[in-house]
Chains A and B, each alone.
Chain A
């Protein structure tokens, strides 16, 4: 039994399954033999006996038909009909010949059947010959002879043939029943063998399963339980197994090695956990991932511990420095907070100043707008003034025209006066002439002398009047000249005035534009100061925020100071911890 245990699992399985396959082949062979023998019996039955019976029945039907045809042939005289019937008879004879041939082929094995078949054949041949004789008799018109033959020889022969056919069919039926009986026997035998073999196979398979299970599955289950304990971290286990050389034995050995390896690694980890980083791990193979990883880890941890020790030194020193720095920051934050408080107060004052300047800017803007309105009205007045100046100029011009016309008219008056003076002169002369004429007339002309004298006086008065008119006219003309000069000067002055007013209007317009611009600027200044005010408010709130922030800063600085103190303490503790490592 030892050799089977040491057999590899593949060979064990091959052995077990080979046994089962042998049993199965036995069962299949038994079943095949039974079924093939049953199949042969049935083939015989179907091919021979039933075929024989069917053929004989058909043969008999054809015989009956021929007999009837012969009778019809005898009874009729019509040649055509007779020929037709003859053709039918010949056809059925051929069919019967073929049946006989088939039947002859069947009965090779059975000698009884062959003998009865040869008898039947010779009888049927005799019947065919007589029938051919009958047909020739009928064609010769000897129907009576034919009838006679039919009723005697042919009838006998027919009866005999029928009897023989029945016998043969009975024989065939008998053989048929015999075959069926044989088949039943074979089948029952095969079933019995089959059952016996099957029961044996089942029993052997169950035994095999139990054996293999005890040999393979149980040790595997034990190993699996050990592996489960290992997977839950329990390494204080061992595989209890006799020395085996199959796969199960190998598995047990491997598990034992694995437990040993893991125990070794656990020892390394234990020493690491005890802060002993001086252990060395040697990997078992190139593929020893855990061993290599442990080796690398130990090296890394050693490196790390060194670095940690250096870092902790640095950290402790830095913590001391941080403590110093945070205390400085704390004092600085306190100073900054005080400064921010002062700045907040200053900003509040600045805000008040900005509000004042915003009010002033509003006042200035209003004033500038009023000034702008005044300037606009001044501009309008200036335009009206320029219009007035233009009107004055046109009126002065019309006055100059009038004076000129007046001068011309006074000239005309002077001319008229001259004419009147001339007339007076002539009147004077006429008066003198009249006086001369009167003197010449002597006493008679005395009265006329007086008249002439008076006329002369009138002429004299006229002359005086004209002289006065002339004087007045010269006065008028002098005055006129003065007026002409004055109007010319006036025109010039007005012209200058128009120019001056235009210049003044331009100046005023420029002034008004400047004022409008300054008003605009004042509005912009107002807007700017408003914005500035808003900005100042924002600055005030911002300063308030800054103040709060600085207060918070102060408290934060104090907190960070205490935190730095804590850090310093932690640095000291870390240093102690790092010094406890063994590298």
Chain B
């Protein structure tokens, strides 16, 4: 930079201020640590421009969507199967699962792998925002008027307007167990 070259003293000062700001930011104590009880660790993600969250307890891992293989003779919310490190997993589209209307563009390039017991299912997401702590008392009951979304699959809505999904219910939904027979066209 020609300006810094011209004024090395100013440059040095500016750098020093930046370093100072960073140090202060790091030195700040997280609020969550202040109230350990009633605290819920959730994974926040974005789907169709809506912010959703899932309890990290049911989340095995997050990965990018790669090499999706469509699977015939499955319900429409089951998009296909993927191979994660040798393990074959079914991938579900929550929007179709919840009969949500298609709104706006969606990347659908992230897969959140849920686990409960021996059942593992992949859920598609547009973007994964990260893990955050939600104070339970602050979670409100879901409004029954919520469009399209059955209240059975919801845990509540946080103060930050985060829709916390009930992973257990989703996993235990009978629709997840796919047993479908297709009549072959007679000869």
Q: Using CB atoms and an 8 Å cutoff, list the residues of chain A in contact with chain B.
A: 425-426, 428-429, 431-433, 435-436, 438-440, 446, 449-450, 452-453, 456
Q: Are A429 and B131 in contact (CB under 8 A)?
A: no
| Closest CB in chain A relative to B84 CB, distance in Å | 12
A435 near B63 with CB under 8 A, answer no
Tell me if B41 and A432 are in contact (CB < 8 A). no
| Distance, CA A429 to CA B30, complexed state (A) | 22
Q: Is B138 an interface residue (CB 8 A)?
A: no
Q: B128 is contacted by which of A432, A446, A452 (Cβ under 8 Å)?
A: A432
Task: Give me 8 A-to-B residue pairs in the complex whose CB atoms sit less than 8 angstroms apart, sorted by A's number.
Answer: A428-B128, A429-B62, A429-B63, A432-B43, A436-B56, A436-B62, A446-B33, A449-B131
Contact call A439/B62, Cβ cutoff below 8 A: no
In Å, the complex CA distance between A481 and B30 comes to 50
In the assembled complex, B61 has its CB within 8 A of some CB on chain A: yes
Question: Which secondary structure dominates chain A's binding surface?
Answer: helix
Cβ-neighbour of A439 out of B30, B60, B128, B131 (below 8 A): B131
CB atoms of A435 and B130 under 8 A apart: yes
Per-residue interface assignment for chain B, residues 117 to 147, with 1 indicating a CB less than 8 Å from any chain A CB and 0 otherwise: 0000000000010110000000000000000
Q: When the two chains form the complex, which single residue of B56, B62, B64 contacts A440, counting CB atoms closer than 8 Å? A: B56
Nearest chain-B residue to A426 (Cβ)?
B64
Q: Given A429-B62, A432-B43, are A456 and B57 neighbors across the interface (CB < 8 Å)?
A: no
Bound: A450/B32 CA distance, A: 12
A432 and B64 form a contact (CB under 8 A): no
Q: Choose from B41, B56, B60, B128 the contact partner of A429 (Cβ within 8 Å).
A: B128
Cross-chain contact A439 with B130 (CB below 8 angstroms)? no
Checking B30, B43, B64, B130 against A425 with a beta-carbon cut-off of 8 angstroms, the contacting residue is B64
Closest A-chain residue to B44, C-beta based?
A: A432
Q: Are B130 and A453 in contact (CB under 8 A)?
A: yes
- The answer to whether B64 and A431 touch across the interface, beta carbons within 8 angstroms, is no
Rounded to whole Å, the gap between the CB of B58 and the closest CB of chain A is: 10
Residues 69-108 of B contacting A (Cβ, < 8 Å):
none
Given contacts A432-B43, A432-B128, A433-B62, contact A439 B56 (CB under 8 A): yes
Q: Which of A433, A438, A453, A456 contacts B61 (CB 8 A)?
A: A433
The closest CB in chain B to the CB of A443 belongs to B36
Quick check: B64 and A435 within 8 Å, CB to CB? no
Query: CA A533 – CA B166 in complex, angstroms?
Result: 126
CA gap between A279 and B145 in the complex, in Å: 191
Closest A residue to B26 using CB positions = A454
Q: Decide: A436 and B61 in contact? CB cutoff 8 A.
A: yes
How close is A446's CB to chain B, nearest CB, in angstroms? 8
A436 cross-chain contacts in B, Cβ below 8 A: 43, 56, 59-62, 131
Q: Are A432 and B57 neighbours in the complex by a CB distance under 8 Å?
A: no
Other than A436-B60, A436-B62, give 9 A-B pairs with Cβ distance below 8 A: A425-B64, A429-B64, A433-B61, A433-B62, A433-B63, A438-B131, A439-B41, A450-B30, A452-B131
| CB pair B131 A440 closer than 8 Å | no
A429 to B59 Cα, complex, angstroms: 13
Q: Report if B51 contacts A (CB, 8 A).
A: no
B30 (CB) vs chain A CBs: closest residue: A450
Chain A residue with minimal CB distance to B132? Answer: A435
A358 shortest CB reach to chain B, Å: 75
Residues in chain A near residue B63, CB distance under 8 A: 429, 433
Closest to B110 in A: A429
B178 smallest CB distance to A (angstroms): 27
- A residues in contact with B56, CB < 8 Å: 435-436, 439-440
Residue of B nearest to A450 (CB): B30
Find chain B residues with CB under 8 A from A446 CB: 33
> Smallest distance from the beta carbon of A421 to chain B beta carbons, Å?
12
Residues of A within 8 A of B61 (CB): 433, 436
Q: Which residue of B lies closest to A431 (CB)?
A: B130
Across the two chains, which residue of chain A brings its CB closest to B63? A429
Contacts of A432 in B (CB 8 A): 43, 62, 128, 130-131
Residues of chain A within 8 A (CB-CB) of B59 are 436
Chain B residues near A425 (CB-CB < 8 A):
64
Set of chain B residues within 8 Å of A429, measured between Cβ atoms: 62-64, 110, 128
Closest Cβ neighbor of B36 among chain A residues: A443
B57: A residues at CB distance < 8 A: 439-440
Task: State A449–B33 Cα separation when bound (angstroms).
Answer: 12
CA distance A433 to B64 in the complex (A): 11
Min CB gap B167→A, angstroms: 13
Tell me, rounded to whole Å, the shortest Cβ–Cβ distance linking B92 to chain A: 19
Closest to B45 in A: A432
Residues of chain B within 8 A (CB-CB) of A452 are 131
CB distance from B27 to the nearest CB of A (A): 12
Closest to A452 in B: B131
Q: Could you say which residues of chain B place their CB within 8 Å of the CB of A439?
A: 41, 56-57, 131
Whether A456 lies near B130 (C-beta < 8 A) is yes
- Give CA–CA (A438, B61) in the complex, Å: 11
A431 CB contacts on chain B under 8 angstroms = 130
Q: What residues on A are CB-neighbors of B62 within 8 Å?
A: 429, 432-433, 436
Q: Enumerate the 7 nearest inter-chain pairs by beta-carbon distance, A residue then B residue, closest first.
A: A435-B131, A439-B41, A439-B56, A432-B62, A433-B61, A432-B128, A436-B56
**In this complex, what residue of B is CB-closest to A437?**
B61
- Chain A residues with Cβ below 8 Å from B33 are 446
Query: Closest Cβ of chain A: how far from B85's Cβ, in Å?
Result: 13
CB-CB under 8 A from A449, the residues of chain B are 131
Q: Which residues of A contact B43 (CB under 8 A)?
A: 432, 436
Interface positions, chain B 17-56, Cβ under 8 Å from A, are 30, 33, 41, 43, 56
CA–CA, A456 and B131, complex, Å = 10
A435 CA / B64 CA spacing, docked (Å): 16
Q: Compute how far the CA of A435 lies from the CA of B59 in the bound complex, rounded to whole angstroms.
A: 11
Kindly name the residue among B33, B63, B131 whose own CB sees the greatest number of chain A CB atoms within 10 A: B131
Chain B residue at smallest Cβ distance from A435: B131
C-alpha spacing A450/B33, complex, angstroms: 12
Residues of A within 8 A of B64 (CB): 425-426, 429
C-alpha gap A446/B41 in the complex (Å) = 11
- Separation in Å of the A178 CB from the closest CB of chain B? 200
